[in-house]
Amino acid sequence: MTDSFKAKSTLNVGTKSYTYYKLKALEPTFNVSRLPYSYKVLLENLLRNEDDLTVTKSDIEAFASAKLAELPVQEIAFMPARVVLQDFTGVPCVVDFAAMRDAMKDLGGDPKKINPLCPAELVIDHSVMVDHYGSNDAFDLNAKLEFQRNKERYAFLRWGQEAFDNFAVVPPDTGIVHQVNIEFLARAVFEKDGVVYPDSCFGTDSHTTMVNGIGVLGWGVGGIEAEAAMLGQPSSMLMPEVIGVRLSGKLAEGATATDLVLTVTEMLRKRGVVEKFVEFFGPGLGNLATADRCTIANMAPEYGATCGIFPIDSETLNYLRLTGRPEEQIALVEEYAKAQGMWWTPDAPEAEYSDVLHLDLSTILPSLAGPKRPQDRVLLTDVQANFKKAFEAEQKMRPSAGPAKVNDNGTEFTLEDGAVVIAAITSCTNTSNPAVLVGAGLVAKKAREKGLKVKPWVKTSLAPGSKVVKDYLIKANLLDDLEAMGFNVVGYGCTTCIGNSGPLNEAISQAINDNKLSVSAVLSGNRNFEGRVHQDVRMNYLASPPLVVAYALAGSTNMDLSSDPIGTGSDGQPVYLKDVWPTTKEIQDTVAACLNADMFKQSYGEVFKGDERWQSISVAKSETFPWDSSSTYVQNPPYFVGMSKEAPGVQPIAGARCLALLGDSITTDHISPAGNIKKDSPGGQYLVDNGVPVAEFNSYGSRRGNHEVMMRGTFANTRIKNAMVPGVEGGFTRHLNGGASDPMPIYDAAMKYAEDGVPLVVLAGKEYGTGSSRDWAAKGTILLGVKAVISESFERIHRSNLVGMGVLPLNFTDGQSAASLGLDGNEIFDIEGLVDGAPAVTVNAKKADGELVSFKARVRIDTPKEWLYYKHGGVLNYVLRELAA
């Protein structure tokens, strides 16, 4: 490696000496101290990886001298220290690696070259579903069903663990990837072969940013970009703007970290931080525990930022010590951060930012977000009005038939619009935070003492992100109180927040559908997009765990929880929220008394071992995977079929038809749903045809190792609205060759176009691809034959994923849109001027009557490296050809 600035130095910590790349070596030529924390991490990455090819001396000089307020359009390369995966996105990554080994063999190369070059750690956390709840055996029953449903996937991952080096798997029923990351996997400062540098990571889940709360720069990427990093490919990115958020004050009595992060999400969405870094600083940092910081960092995708990072300080060390990290590692973190100017103290000079926002923590008020987007914050006092407004809008399309009398296994009640049918303490966003979990337990305790009970129509669940949560709730004598309210532990994994909420009781589900009721879910998650939590539930609100318990008691969002009684006590008197809400001191004292480092050490002591079910899975020991053609979970994908050793280059797109005309905020959930597979959908029909009973369909998320299911599930969300079939909800379109057909499933139309050799485009509005870093939203798109997506704007990760799969991302220009141009999806599209490096193209859309609509579109292939990937047909094809050569 090159070292133009003589930055390679020695760091002594205790009795050990390490090599590190000293940022101060750039001074006094460059004023490095003014840079934000995140920029120092990026700059160190450039210094350490300087090679005169990917990173040059001029790259480093340009970065070190950049003015944050006037950033140049400068490409930089970033190489993360490690990669973290969850199983929904991790299984397809390992499938791709296995397929690449086969393809490498076909190209005459060595299959063993396909191997992670940096540590990759996969946590199986997205497969548990809440089939059983409200009982002490719920966890065991759900775990048993999880293994029955996912045995093929788990056997495949066991094979991968044996076949690949640098690849470790955290078995099921252990925790949620991001919580496991902050509590165990994250190093804060990384050491490899005697060289120390900032820990950093890519993750195949957008909420990888949670690790930003302990000073680790990391963000969510698509599986394809993660695979490239695992194969030693640096990630190309433009020098990002850094929006500083200056925090002051401290949270007032009654406010929680959840209320804070919902406020931050709303504020930053209004500012607009997509493709930008967000960095928190200011005197208020000293009043935020690391768990609160991690909650804020977790929801960076919800406010749209690439990351939401906090610097390393004494509070970071407190957290590392609490979670059982070795003292030697903690000392290394402190000394390294201080040596590099990455250590924060209250009197530290404030860095230079692209822009600065201000937030006084004392102004935070109890809040929820919903009913359809995490950035739509609503004050607790306004939830009823918010519900009524959303309900009125629903009535125009889907009028309710009013209250329904329900007999649910002998319990009779009336189910009304606004009823809370799901109340879930779920998601690492909040279950990683002891303060809000203890707060929920104290609400349950006080409610139990007053004789309150959860309403009979509410499905309750507690799904912590690690086993430590149960340990400290037991020690605090609060788990019994939560269980008395129906909040039994149902699993350690990502449940309701990802759509693994499981079925509602049949009588309740039937009443909702027969009467077209608009019912609610209240969950402590980070996502509440349409159709995500449960297909029967149309109103979804994010809330703190204590408020989740309170809404389970109240049973409705069509009430004012801040002033109306949440129930009637055993003494016959009304009980209000203020009667069961704990004080900040009660929460803090309880946390201090019930939480210690030994809990973390014990919980993570044999974290990779797994239980008897995991250990009993038989593993195929082979260099390449023995594919089973009868498997409905794992199949060899067709990405590399017929691949030549030469790149195909930029291919023309002409005579294309529109597959879907979509609106604003189309999420990756809309494009590639993770939840239930409907029997009458193309994906469901495929499973039926392959002998899979409906009861064993599992979810789209669990089937991501099988492209046949996932292609059929692309654009199959039950709530997606394609303007080409007005008034129809779900994944339908019209086939236009030979005249417009009746509405048909998008998959069926795509296959008809493929038979005729017709390329496809998708038209969309603003923020296309919002949400999870779901590579199947891009993989499914290319496999359906879509060559280009033309939108008003893209969310960061999905745009990158499209390029990574060889799909052309284009943006309308000059404020234009499909609507302003009069496009209705019935046109034939030709794209002119598409050549290597083209900043823009001309799109000619020919209407059925012969009228030609021409418009300019900006090409969103943003870097030379992305153009290289695109010319190869995708990043994996590029890496394969490079390794084979």
Residue 612 pLDDT exceeds 80: yes
| Segment 119-142, tens digit of pLDDT | 999 999 988 999 999 999 999 999
Residue 149 pLDDT exceeds 80: yes
**632 falls within a domain:** no
Query: Who's near 401: CB < 8 A, 6+ residues apart?
Result: 514, 515, 516, 517
Compute the distance between CA of residue 85 and CA of residue 266 in angstroms, rounded to an integer: 28
**331 falls within a domain:** no
548 vs 610, higher pLDDT: 548
Mean pLDDT of 453-460: 98
The counts of H helices and E strands in the chain are 30, 34
The tokens for 635 are 């199949």
CATH number for the domain spanning 384: value is 3.30.499.10
Compute the distance between CA of residue 862 and CA of residue 840 in angstroms, rounded to an integer: 11
651 and 784 fall within a common domain: yes
CATH number for the domain spanning 849: value is 3.20.19.10
433 and 388 fall within a common domain: yes
**613 falls within a domain:** yes
Note the pTM of the prediction, 2 decimals.
0.86
Compute the distance between CA of residue 432 and CA of residue 444 in angstroms, rounded to an integer: 19
Compute the distance between CA of residue 274 and CA of residue 289 in angstroms, rounded to an integer: 26
The tokens for 708 are 């046949």
Mean pLDDT of the chain: 95
In contact, 749 and 683? CB cutoff 8 Å: no
Instruction: Report helix, strand or coil for 721.
Output: strand
Dihedral sign from CA coordinates of 860, 862, 868, 873: negative
| DSSP string for residues in 569-631 | -TTS-EE-HHHHPPPHHHHHHHHHHH--HHHHHHHTTTTTT--HHHHTS-----SS----TT-
- Residue 540: per-residue pLDDT: 97
The tokens for 546 are 């204590």
**What are the phi and psi torsion angles at 407 (to 5°)?**
-115, 105
Neighbours of 638 (CB within 10 A): 12
391 and 424 fall within a common domain: yes
Compute the distance between CA of residue 570 and CA of residue 450 in angstroms, rounded to an integer: 6
Mean pLDDT of 18-30: 96
In contact, 361 and 246? CB cutoff 8 Å: no
Residue 75 pLDDT exceeds 90: no
Instruction: Report helix, strand or coil for 790.
Output: strand
- Residue 159: per-residue pLDDT: 94
* β partners of residue 791: 811
**265 falls within a domain:** no
Mean pLDDT of 831-836: 97
190 and 64 fall within a common domain: no
- Residue 113: per-residue pLDDT: 87
- Residue 740: per-residue pLDDT: 81
**358 falls within a domain:** no
In contact, 758 and 657? CB cutoff 8 Å: yes
223 and 174 fall within a common domain: yes
724 and 696 fall within a common domain: yes
Buried b (16+ CB within 10 A) or exposed e, 319-331: bbebbbbeeebbe
Q: Confidence band (pLDDT; 50, 70, 90) for 393?
A: very high
- The count of structural domains within the chain is 4
Residue 772 pLDDT exceeds 80: no
The tokens for 871 are 């010319």
| Segment 398-439, tens digit of pLDDT | 999 999 999 999 999 999 999 999 999 999 999 999 999 999
Compute the distance between CA of residue 722 and CA of residue 734 in angstroms, rounded to an integer: 10
Residue 1 pLDDT exceeds 90: no
Mean pLDDT of 520-544: 93
Integer CA distances (angstroms), 546 to 367, 463, 662, in order: 12, 14, 37
The tokens for 672 are 């590639």
| Segment 531-542, tens digit of pLDDT | 889 989 999 999
**195 falls within a domain:** yes
Give the amino acid at 399.
Answer: P
| Cα end-to-end span (Å), the chain | 23
58 and 134 fall within a common domain: no
- Residue 675: per-residue pLDDT: 81
DSSP code of residue 770? B
Which helix H or strand E contains 192, and what residues bound it?
Answer: strand 189-192
18 and 45 fall within a common domain: yes
**197 falls within a domain:** yes
- Residue 236: per-residue pLDDT: 83
**257 falls within a domain:** no
Which structural domain range is residue 36 located in? 8-72
58 and 88 fall within a common domain: no
729 and 781 fall within a common domain: yes
- Residue 674: per-residue pLDDT: 83
667 and 546 fall within a common domain: no
Residue 365 pLDDT exceeds 80: yes
Residue 310 pLDDT exceeds 90: yes
Q: Confidence band (pLDDT; 50, 70, 90) for 864?
A: confident
Range list of H helices, 829-874 = 864-871
731 and 868 fall within a common domain: yes
Range list of H helices, 743-863 = 746-755, 775-783, 796-804
